[in-house]
Amino acid sequence: MIRSIRACKTAAEERAVVRKECAAIRAAINENDQDYRHRNLAKLMFIHMLGYPTHFGQMECLKSIASAGFPEKRIGYLGLMLLLDERQEVLIDLNHTNQYIVGLALCALGNICSAEMARDLAPEVERLLQFRDPNIRKKAALCSIRIIKKVPDLAENFINPAAALLKEKHHGVLITGIQLVTDICKVSTEALEFFRKPKCLDGLVKTLRDVVNSPYAPEYDIAGITDPFLHIRLLKLLHVLGQGDADASDCMNDILAQVATKTESNKNAGNAILYECVETIMSIEDNGGLRVLAINILGRFLSNRDNNIRYVALNMLMKAITVDAQAVQRHRATILECVKDLDASIRKRALELVYLLVNESNVKPLTKELIDYLEISDQEFKGDLTAKICSMVEKFSPDKIWYIDQMLKVLSEAGNFVKDEVWHALIVVISNASDLHGYTVRALYRAVQTSIEQESLVRVAIWCIGEYGDMLVNNVGVLNIEDPITVTESDAVDVVEIAIKHHSSDITTKAMAMVALLKLSSRFPSCSERIRDIIVQNKGSLVLELQQRSIEFNSIVEKHQNIRSTLVERMPVLDEATFSGRRAGSLPATVSTSSGTSLNLPNGVAKPAAAPLVDLLDLSSDDAPVPSSSGNDFLQDLLGVDVSPASVQPGTSQAPKAGTDVLLDLLSIGSPPVQNNSTPSDILSSSQDNKSSVAILDGLSPAPSGGAASMIDLLDGFVPNSPKPEDNGPAYPSIVAFESSSLILTFNFSKPPGNPQTTLIQATFTNLSPNVYTDFVFQAAVPKFLQLHLDPASGNTLPASGNGSITQTLRVTNSQHGKKPLVMRTRIAYKLNNRDVLEEGQINNFPRDL
């Protein structure tokens, strides 16, 4: 039959033949044909292997097993193991006199038994562990392994028989016995203790020594080593026994050293033993000399020509780093070579290992090497490589200029593989390094000339040119390492124009380019006309975003010349700490500073990222209706009038607030902006959100309410508004936190989206007495599992009889969110008729799930 199936030329023919055969077999089964049963079963199995369904044969299998003849039983068990899986219950004859049959049964049981079967038949198997025939003993041992894996509770029963097996002479039984002991020890700690006793351990060590020193035995010899399998099993068992136990480890030191030094490593068998030996050494209790030996062996492996060996060595070195980083550093050069290997899996491993090895001292040469390799590496690898280089550079860069340099190189080489957050971070860094602005923009200008197809590079470049175009043209802040370069205004505009028109620029780039053009039109008045022309070209663009921008910018350039320059003033410095804090959740490698500590920035001022530039042109967007106040505020802002801080109340309408506040910010009047209402989302996701290049920094913004308002805006001295909370999460009922005869304190809660542990509390103080309170100060204390941040209050005079109130925002982070509710102790101090008054209280009635 096999021949006929193989002779089929097409799949259809084969199906026909198989169908005929199946029919014949089914007929034979129905007739209960004894003679050919085993042949039919064999045919069935072949057909099954080809992939056809053969369920009708399963009963045949069972009948075959139950029959008396050996051939039938043999085929029946084979069919059983092949056609059925674990979930079938089967009658097993473990008590048969014929040892081969017992062997068959044990084999089947070992391969497919289920938990119930295991429980029923465990005593039988135990008995067989002491059978006279070694063949049966070894099968019983492996069967016991299966039983123990299925039913770990039975492990204790097998401890004693297993211990007996360890003293065997027959290699087969010894191997299986050792395996059984290893598995028992993994499952039961009691067994582990038992086998760690010196008597057992010494026996094992002695066995290993005998095997290592044994003379040539032709039966077990592989590549000149006697029974490498036994070596490896014994080493594995020693690994399990020695891990975590100093005494046991001591016993093994000698034999491990002997194996490590004496084993020949020119054949795979020898290397396998050495590998196992190194694994064992690395996991048992510390012994300096042995560890050094092990790492040297690994070093030797690394320079082996065989790919497998190098792969295995890299794997082990990754584990070894946690144990002894110094030693691994010595092999850094070889590992670096492996990054350039032909084999993809070796490259991957080596790259990961290099990444783990990076520290402050070697980051510069390593990065240089990796970037050089980036140029010649192939596409699939570039993604990984760029990601690793970027995170390395970020973590360990010694100074900003080096960071910018490396990132520019990476972007020029493989910009398309760089993730968005990476170049966002780059922009944040650039904006923070104010002395390097000129240098950066010039370097970017040069880079873009050569690598126009790298999207991310183009984006960063046009952002910088837009922002710092005047520095580029006027050669501001030239560092001595730079070559002189003259760029005219129209050159700069050229670059942006090319970016817009380039066929591979996507919508983000084009949108960013538009904003850059707007900025340039203000900075380079001479090119204004030309810029306007370019912008106007996109008026009819099919992409709504571009069309909108084009029309709006066009109208700014044409009609609103007076506000244009203020609109596109230099952006305030972006808040690095906030950005890292936000990224910390997504990128484990980045430095994470909690947003609460933005107070300690080296720049001194934690400024929120500027909210979208274009939001103020809310003219055409359909955001929530503008509250009536914003119209007046707009005018007032433009005219430079101070905006009353108390007018900002946390409310539900947020979009329009963002608009006016952005304006406030950009015009540097009044307070820094209130939260940018839009949560960080894709640039293109909402067509109504006129986001600009600044909007990409939505990922960075907004500064936490704590950071923003607690800092006095650098450019003016007004008391900042109490910032309104971000989008409300689930609504929490407000509580009256404190009430006395003269003072009421209410808390309103909201949660910033995406962070269930943090709560923003808007505290409102109302004065019930007929007297005015002055010098009003609110203080609060919280238990250790909470973090509290208080923003400055909206004022410190509380008018009488509820004619006004003071508001203050608190930000609480609950590290035991869900387990413990918030509690707070308060202390309120004020002056009443020039008399100091102090009121203290404890607030316990916070909603439970804050």
**Beta-bridge partners for 732:** 749
Instruction: Establish if 241 lies at the interface with other proteins (CB under 8 A).
Output: no
Min dist CB 247 to other proteins, Å, is 24
Tokens of 573: 């410095």
By CB under 8 A, name the one of 232, 458, 674, 709 that touches other proteins.
232
444 counts as binding other proteins under rule CB under 8 A: no
Cβ distance to other proteins smaller for residue 42 or 200: 42
> What is the Cβ-side half-sphere exposure of residue 620, based on CA atoms within 13 angstroms?
15
Piece in contact with other proteins (CB under 8 A), picked from 69-77, 624-632, 676-684, 837-845: 69-77
Taking CB under 8 A as the binding criterion, the range among 221-229, 325-333, 767-775, 787-795 that sits at the site for other proteins is 221-229
Among 130, 213, 261, 307, contact with other proteins (rule: CB under 8 A):
307
Single-letter amino acid code for the residue at 327: A
| Smallest distance, other proteins to C-beta of residue 172, A | 4
396 lies in the site for other proteins, by CB under 8 A: no
From 214-222, 429-437, 528-536, 696-704, give the range in contact with other proteins by CB under 8 A: 214-222
Question: Residues with Cβ < 8 Å from 589, sequence gap 6 or more?
Answer: 391, 394, 395
Distance of closest approach, residue 2 Cβ to other proteins, in angstroms? 6
* Beta bridge mates, 842: 825
| In the complex, minimum distance from the CB of residue 72 to other proteins, in angstroms, rounded to a whole number | 9
Nearer to other proteins among residue 42 and residue 563 (C-beta)? 42
Q: Is 707 within 8 Å of 606 (Cβ atoms)?
A: yes
Give, in degrees to the nearest 5, the angle at Cα 657 between 654 and 659: 115
- Crossing angle, helix 455-474 and helix 489-501, to 10 degrees? 170
Contact code string over 78-97 relative to other proteins, x by CB under 8 A:
x--xx--xxx----------
Are the beta carbons of 575 and 703 closer than 8 angstroms? yes
Instruction: Read off the DSSP letter of residue 695.
Output: G
Q: State the number of binding residues for other proteins (CB under 8 A).
A: 65
Residues 30-59 that bind other proteins (CB under 8 A): 35, 42, 45-46, 49-51
Range 725-728, long-range pairs (CB < 8 A, 24+ positions) = 725/650, 725/675, 725/750, 725/752, 725/760, 725/762, 725/809, 726/675, 726/677, 726/679, 726/702, 726/750, 726/752, 726/753, 726/760, 727/654, 727/677, 727/679, 727/752, 727/753, 728/652
Residues 335-374 that bind other proteins (CB under 8 A): 342-346
CB atoms within 10 A of CB 383: 15
Residue closer to other proteins by CB (options 67, 594) is 67
The structure tokens listed for 290 are 């042995």
**Least distance in angstroms from the C-beta of 419 to other proteins:** 23
3-state secondary structure 406-439: HHHHHHHHHHHHCCHHHHHHHHHHHHHCHHHHHH
**Does 769 participate in binding other proteins (rule CB under 8 A)?**
no
Please choose, out of 253-261, 304-312, 514-522, 679-687, the segment that lies near other proteins by the rule CB under 8 A.
304-312
Q: Which listed range, 105-113, 412-420, 503-511, 753-761, lies at the site for other proteins (CB under 8 A)?
A: 105-113
Nearer of residues 243 and 771 to other proteins, judged by Cβ: 243
Contacts with other proteins, 161-180, as mask; x by CB under 8 A:
----------xx--xx--x-
Strand order in the sheet with 824-832: 773-781, 824-832, 835-843
DSSP 3-state of 221? strand
Comparison of 128 and 465: residue with beta carbon closer to other proteins: 128
* The residue type at 75: I
Per-residue x/- marks for other proteins, 123-162, CB under 8 A?
A: ------------x--xx--xx-xx----------------
Site for other proteins (CB under 8 A): which residue of 279, 413, 470, 552?
279
Rounded to whole angstroms, the Cα distance separating 391 from 205 reads 47
Residue showing tokens 């050792």: 178
Smallest distance, other proteins to C-beta of residue 135, A? 6
CB of 22 to other proteins, least distance (A): 17
- DSSP class of residue 796? S
Residues that bind other proteins (CB under 8 A): 2, 6, 35, 42, 45-46, 49-51, 69-71, 74-75, 78, 81-82, 85-87, 100, 106-107, 110-111, 135, 138-139, 142-143, 145-146, 171-172, 175-176, 179, 219-220, 222, 227-230, 232-233, 236, 268-269, 271-272, 275-276, 279, 307-312, 342-346
